[in-house]
Chain A
Amino acid sequence: MRQSAFEQFVGESQSALMRHAYALTGDVHASEDLVQDTLVRMAGAWRRVDREGNPLGYARTVMLRLYVSRWRVLRRRPAPQPLVETAEPRDAYAGVDARDAVRRGLAGLPRLQRAVLVLSYLDDMADEDIAELLNRRPATIRSLRSRGLHALRDRFSTSDGAEVGVHRGTN
């Protein structure tokens, strides 16, 4: 049976949408929910979206706004993230597991800060484009990113033995 354009879009874009959703939520089930909610809205507007010619871009915008929206925060609380240290302080592996520390740090960030970090470091989007997407000023975006990075650096500096170089480079 011939696939509809929407079904074809889901088949082709689901992995990309899952990547974005997982980067935003850090949780498998929450990311599946986020992709589902995004596609529900896409389905409702599919004719127009398909006609405009950039459904993946539209889906990512919808997903981002769902993620940061008050409605979603209140309605669907994501599963608690493992913020506690899971390794013994003297565990040799704990000190070098920077990715684990990044995940725990990200889990503690406000949603807007995390969204800005995802758009900056997953999508390499320019501040002006992020500002447009989130309906904020570019300066606000820079500040949100700066605060998010600062919080992550603080986490590294306070975590026991995390051997991660923290540079305040300009790039």
Chain B
Amino acid sequence: MARIEDLLRQEFRGDVPAGPGPDAMLARVAKARRRRAAGAVAGCAAILGGLALAAVSVIPPGLTGAPGAGEQPAHVYHGQVINTVFTDQRHGYVVQQGCSLDNVTRVPEGAPTPDVHERCQTQLLVTEDGGLTWRTRALPGDPATKDAGVPLVQGHSLMLWVDGTGRLAFGGWDRRYWTTADGAVTWQESATPREVGPAGSMGVFTADDRLTFLTSPPPEGIPAKKAQPDPAVPATDGSFWTACATGPCVRVTRDHGATWPAMSTVDSATSVDWVATYDGRTAYASVRTPGGYRLVRTSDGGVSWSDVLGMPQPSAGAAALPDGDLLLVRASEEGGMYRLRAGGSTLEPVADAPAHAGPMYVSGGMVVAAQAWQESDRPDLASMVCVSADGGATWTAVPAPVD
């Protein structure tokens, strides 16, 4: 049984018609450029006018992407988690959004692609009892969701962090940011712009949720590893880890990004999907082999790796814990969280855990499991963040985002 995503990969990466050949294509390009140069002076006004006319004539009423009554809903709703930070095992903060989005339905051939309008409400939730109860606090501004110099990470974005003085900081647009020292009751805007690091550096979280800028990213860049909550996973020993973009290795920097030596995993591996570590000595990686997905482990900081067990599917999220255990979420329809004990070789199901968590990490001694993305035809979204104060044995849910 093939998944639709796999079928798409096969389709897009399959055989492609050869095309006209470089010489023929160059000739077409040259001809088109000559034609364009000849018509350039007279063309612009006609195009602008023609666009308006065509837009009116091509799109029949009611076919602009907004469906009529009785068809599909006019909006879809989604929630996303921007970040969850615990400053200790009692005090935690969640910034999340509830959004409604125009429901884009099939567009008739020839009709213009409709605009997609989106409205979002950002919410700050605060707990003072380790996640048992949460209350809403006002945010001082909108979180920056696209901001040069600070990469965004799904569910663990650098818009909520612990600043150099230990205060909670919240980043907004135009490099504005605010800090709070009283549990987000009051905020003080910083007099200086939010730091974005030197050119070429890479902004990441440290193991204690501070914002830092590594000198440089790994040589081949950061691969899009969905199960790895951060571009570079921070360890308590100051190292940062990431899967190699290509090849069966992980890259580890122990000099704050100045160098990123590649460390090979196991011989049978062809690539690495993610890596997880807490202390920088014990680390786990999900590797692909010709025989399927395997979980491998190192206990010496990545120098040597050993095979632990096979996995039927890749993982949607994984977190290494302070005691050496690994929690991982199975990427399948049924999902499910599993624990690998430190030094063990079998997975144990974790009861009452979030089954479909994505990003997972440890913050302030709490384990955070976020469902980074949720979509619904109804505005009442479900909880998207679960937290655990006892290493994943028991979990409590954070209230759902509201639209």
Interface residues, chain A, with chain B CB atoms under 8 Å away: 7, 10-11, 14-15, 18-19, 22-23, 28, 31-32, 35-37, 39-40, 43-44, 68, 70-71, 73-74, 77-78, 80, 98-99, 102-103, 106, 108-113, 117-118, 121-122, 124-129, 131-132, 136-140, 142-144, 146-147, 149, 151-153, 156, 164-171
Contacts and interface: CB of A to CB of B under 8 A. Distances in A.
A171 B78 contact: no
A73 B145 contact: no
Interface in B188-247: 224, 226-227
Given A18-B19, A165-B2, A117 B146 contact: no
B106 A110 contact: yes
Nearest to A29: B17
B19 A74 contact: no
Nearest to B30: A43
B7 A164 contact: yes
B224 A125 contact: yes
Residue among B32, B104, B111, B332 with the highest chain A CB neighbour number at 10 A: B104
Given A36-B28, A138-B154, A167-B3, 7 more contacts: A73-B112, A74-B51, A98-B2, A122-B9, A138-B145, A139-B80, A140-B116
Interface string B325-336: 000010111010
Nearest to A76: B110
A118 B116 CA distance: 19
Contacts of B116: 112, 136, 140, 144
Contact of A80 (B26, B109, B120, B227): B109
Contacts of B152: 128, 138
A151 B110 CA distance: 19
Given A15-B16, A147-B104, A168-B333, A121 B9 contact: yes
Given A167-B333, A171-B316, A32 B20 contact: yes
A43 B34 CA distance: 12
The secondary-structure label for the interface of chain A is: helix
A137 to B, nearest CB: 6
A124 to B, nearest CB: 6
Contact of A102 (B8, B13, B19): B8
Contact of A112 (B12, B113, B335): B113
A153 B4 contact: yes
Interface in B35-60: 36, 47, 50-51, 54-55, 58
B46 to A, nearest CB: 12
A14 B22 contact: yes
A128 B2 CA distance: 27
Given A73-B110, A74-B55, A144-B104, A23 B28 contact: no
Contacts, number: 197
B11 interface: yes
A147 B47 CA distance: 32
29 contacts: A10-B26, A14-B22, A36-B28, A40-B29, A73-B112, A73-B113, A74-B55, A74-B110, A77-B109, A98-B7, A102-B4, A110-B65, A111-B107, A122-B12, A127-B154, A128-B154, A137-B118, A138-B80, A143-B375, A144-B104, A149-B4, A156-B4, A164-B1, A166-B4, A169-B3, A169-B5, A169-B333, A170-B356, A170-B358
Interface in B313-360: 313-316, 329, 331-333, 335, 356, 358
A167 B9 contact: no
Interface of B: 1-5, 7-14, 16-22, 25-26, 28-29, 32-33, 36, 47, 50-51, 54-55, 58, 65, 76, 78, 80, 97, 99, 101, 103-107, 109-114, 116, 118, 120, 145-146, 151-152, 154, 224, 226-227, 313-316, 329, 331-333, 335, 356, 358, 373, 375
B376 to A, nearest CB: 10
B104 A112 contact: yes
A68 B32 contact: no
A128 to B, nearest CB: 5
Contacts of B10: 99
A121 B8 contact: yes
Contacts of A19: 12-13, 16
A74 B58 CA distance: 8
A18 B246 CA distance: 24
Nearest to A79: B109
Given A14-B25, A121-B9, A140-B116, A28 B146 contact: no
Contacts of A31: 17, 19
A106 B132 CA distance: 46
Contact of B25 (A39, A124, A143, A152): A39
Contacts of B26: 7, 10, 39
Contacts of B16: 15, 18-19, 22
B87 to A, nearest CB: 26
Contacts of A37: 32
Nearest to A70: B112
A164 B51 CA distance: 42
B117 to A, nearest CB: 10
Contact of B12 (A10, A15, A111, A118): A118
Contacts of B106: 108-110, 151
B2 A143 contact: no
A106 to B, nearest CB: 7
B78 A40 contact: no
